[in-house]
Structure 1
Amino acid sequence: MKKVIIFGGIGLLLIVVLLWFGKKNSASPISYDTEKAFKTSIVKKSTATGKVVPLEEVEIKPQISGIIDKIYLEEGALVKAGDLIATVRVVPNIQSLNAANGQVKNAQLAFDNAKVQFERNKKLFDKGVIARQAYENSELSYNNAKQSLYNAKSDLDIIKRGTTAGLGKTANTNIRATATGMVVEIPVKKGYQVIQSNNFNAGTTIARIADMTKMIFEGNVDESEVGKLIKGTNIDVAIGAIEEKKFPAVLNFIAPKGTDNGGAVQFKIKADVSLDDKYFIRAGYSANAEIVLDKRDSVLSIKESLLQFDRKTEKPFVEVLIGEQEFEKRKVKLGLSDGVNVEVLEGVGPEDEIKIWNKVDKQKSSNDDGEL
């Protein structure tokens, strides 16, 4: 009898243990949190990377080839049109110099001959031997020969020294500013050889002058967003070198043609930047422009992290709480998104509890870490 009681007690205990384990295993090991939809303003922005550059920048180039003899200004100096920047010492071309010397000698011979004829005809005219017409013709030849000799000597001086008597401030060896502004760059130094600007060569840049009071943003936007841009749109420009400050700007140019940049087609944009007198903006600062593409004010929204997508249709849905850790699948129609929040047009209301499917409740046991 005792054995029956003992075995019966053991069997009953075993049944109780099995029932307890079955109940425990049937319960869901994961407890999900929920969130409600909320109203907020959603702004979709595009960020264009680029730099801030002067609106007007002028390159100063020499009108004669030679060697930089002296530089009178430094980068950052303010100049007016006509101010002297540098001087060039001419290194004459041997072939041109030889030709100019030959022209001077020929002009000298012609002048000497014309002078002898003029003086002879003058004496004959004074004696009444020749007519006035012959005298005046010899005088004209003499004056022409004299002018030709002067011109030949001037050409020789220009080839030798880059200037000649009487040119004054217009001498080709004096490199002067052609615009008012700040000298932002002087890429040459004393002793550098420079080439004149001509039809076949752009010439060596002596200096760059820019108006630093007028700056623009130049950047690039992706082809997927360029169609949404409108000229005249207000944008914010954030300059990397100036923290916690955004400069207002107005979009004034969108390139009609894109360029291939690493497989992605991008379009250049420009915007006039409104400067702040408290900050000195240097040419070439890297900057980012935030452009508002679309905006919704006070609309019903949810976090994008709450969305799930059907594997077959790839359409979005959420899971809504209908009981104790019981959820039902609901398809949703979405609107504008800013990458964090998304507008909900249909599917859920402000009272619905939406499952946070990718976040596990803190009360879950440590044995279940990593499960979804």
Structure 2
Amino acid sequence: MPTWRHAVAALLIAIPLASCKRDAAGPGGAPQAATPEVTVAKPIAKRLMDWDEFTGRLTSRERVDIHARVSGYVTQVSFKEGAEVKAGDLLFTIDPRPYEAIVERAEAMLAQAKTAAELAGVEAKNATALRQGQAISVEESERRLKSATGEMAGVRGAEAALRAAKLDLEFTQIRAPISGRISDARVTEGNLVSGGIQGATLLTTIVALDPIYCEIEADERSVLKYREMHKSGERVSAMFERIPAEMSLINEAGWQHRGEVDFVDNQINPATGTIRARAVFPNADRLMAPGFFAKVRVPGSGEYDGLLIRDSAVGDDQGSSFVWVLDAEDKAVYRPITLGPLLDGLRVVRSGLKADERVVVLGLMSVRNGVKVKPSLTEMKPAEPAK
């Protein structure tokens, strides 16, 4: 009779198990859901200012193409290619000997002109005395006076020729007109270079690096906005005063360079619908160079009181933004908000939120409107990137 004994034993075991299951169930036999655990933080209240971003290229504050000013053979290159040079440093030397000979000849011509002028001056002085005694005619007296005037003009011409010759001799030593970083030597020793205003040989290039410019193009809509802000007194226009600017290179996180917008052009380019502007930034370490791509941001509003929250705490509801906040009973409340831009990793909230409210920043998927949650408080700071 073992079969019925086994059935009775199984029934006795099943009864306590069923009782345990009923104890774990809620009213009506339905299982009770655990209270969702969420992390909350209070918004950061701060004086804020919106920023508008533009793209641009770095350019040199000063750039000089070094050309030969006199013709001749290069006898010396006196700089290290790609190095820093100072204004006045010797860069190239052109063979000075032909120009030294021209200077000596000009000096001789000047001495000759001065001798002739002195002789003509003596004759003119004597002519005045002789004319008073009627020893010479009026015509001869006038001739000697005019001759003296002509010889003095010859002296001035010889002096000018000497100055020009000395200037050409000085141009055989080509010096840096500005301080900056120099390029390579386009002409090496022993080569013939041509001088003059047209067709002069390019020798090298110097660019100034500190400070450095970033040229940007602002769109017409932004320009009109800035001018309306200037009219209302919200923010001064860069046309009248310098305004702050911040810059970031493509390999940099955040806005590491602080500068100013120091120039805005006087007209919109009708082909592009933009206006040219320029920001200037310190470059003491000389690591930024002309041609680098950069992002620049400028104030897009005046200062105002705003709130900052994590961007990850913001939900999207058919194009509208919202957050979950907790009431006094720790129940979740759906709250539509109006957002602004990102600032230092946090999102600006323009309206819909108060500074003392608790915002759900972690556990959003488990939150339902009106459902009580179990919160834990943390600081409102940018969420750490996933590893």
Residue 263 (structure 2) aligned to one of 234, 253, 258: 253
1:208 maps to 2:205: yes
- Residue in 2 aligned with 1:68? 74
Shift of 1:306: 1.6
C-alpha contact (below 8 Å) 2:70/2:168 kept by paired residues = no
Contact 2:340 2:347 in 1 (8 A): no
Change (3 A) 1:249 1:320: closer
Counterpart residue identity of residue 325, structure 2 = V
**1:301 to partner: Cα distance:** 3.9
- Amino acid across the alignment from 1:294: S
Segments of structure 2 that go 5 or more residues without pairing to the other structure are: 97-163, 227-236, 367-373, 375-387
Instruction: State the secondary structure of the residue aligned to 2:50.
Output: strand
Given the two structures, how large is their TM-score scaled by the length of structure 1?
0.52
Q: 1:358 to 1:294 in 2, by over 3 A?
A: farther
Residues 149-298 of structure 1 mapped to structure 2, 5 A cutoff: 167-170=165-168, 174=172, 176-177=174-175, 179=177, 181=179, 184-188=182-186, 189-191=188-190, 194=193, 203-209=200-206, 215-220=211-216, 223=219, 227=223, 230-231=237-238, 232-236=242-246, 249-254=259-264, 256-257=268-269, 269-273=277-281, 279=284, 281=286, 284=289, 289=296, 291-294=298-301, 296-298=303-305
- Structure 1 or 2: larger strand share? 1
State yes or no: 1:316 paired with 2:321: yes
Q: Which residue of the partner structure matches residue 86 of structure 1?
A: 93
TM-superposition CA deviations, 1:286-339 (whole Å, max 9, x none): 67755333354543443332211113xx11112233587742322223356525
Mapping of 1:18-33 within 5 angstroms?
20=24, 25-28=31-34, 30-33=36-39
Q: Tell me the distance in 2 between the aligned counterparts of 1:342 and 1:300.
A: 6
Q: Which residue of structure 2 lines up, in the alignment, with residue 13 of structure 1?
A: 17
Deviations 1:269-296 (A, max 9, x none): 4234467xxx464772767755333354
Distance 1:85 1:282, change over 3 A: farther
Give distance in 2, aligned partners of 1:283 and 1:66: 37
User: Residue 140 of structure 2 aligns with which residue?
Assistant: none
User: Which amino acid in 2 is paired with 1:321?
Assistant: L
- Measure, in 2, the Cα distance between the counterparts of 1:24 and 1:194: 98
Shift of 1:60: 1.8
Q: 5+ unaligned residues in a row in structure 1: which ranges?
A: 90-165, 364-372
Counterpart residue identity of residue 174, structure 1: T
Aligned residues: 270
Look up the equivalent residue of 2:245 and give its one-letter code. Answer: I
- Tell me, yes or no, if the aligned pair for 1:42 and 1:341 is still in contact at 8 Å: no
Q: Distance in 2 between matches of 1:24 and 1:69?
A: 100
Helix, strand or coil: the match of 1:319? strand
For the residues of structure 2 that align with 1:257 and 1:332, how far apart are their CA atoms? 38
Q: 1:291 to 1:354 in 2, by over 3 A?
A: same
Distance 1:327 1:246 in 2: 39
Which residue of the other structure, out of 335, 340, 360, is the alignment partner of 1:355? 360
The answer to whether the 8 A contact 1:183-1:207 is kept is no
SS for the counterpart of 2:68 is coil
Q: What is the CA distance between 1:10 and its match in structure 2?
A: 2.7
Instruction: Report deviation, 1:235.
Output: 2.8
Alpha-carbon contact 2:220-2:275 (below 8 Å) kept = no
Query: CA 1:211–1:4 in 2, change beyond 3 Å: closer, same or farther?
Result: closer
C-alpha separation between the residues in 2 aligned to 1:4 and 1:210? 101
Measured in 2, the distance between the counterparts of 1:4 and 1:84 equals 112
2-structure distance, mates of 1:205, 1:14: 99
Distance apart, 1:185 and its partner CA = 3.1
Q: Distance in 2 between matches of 1:185 and 1:64?
A: 21
Structure 1 residue matching 2:354: 3-state secondary structure: coil
Kindly, what percent of the aligned residue pairs are identical? Answer: 13
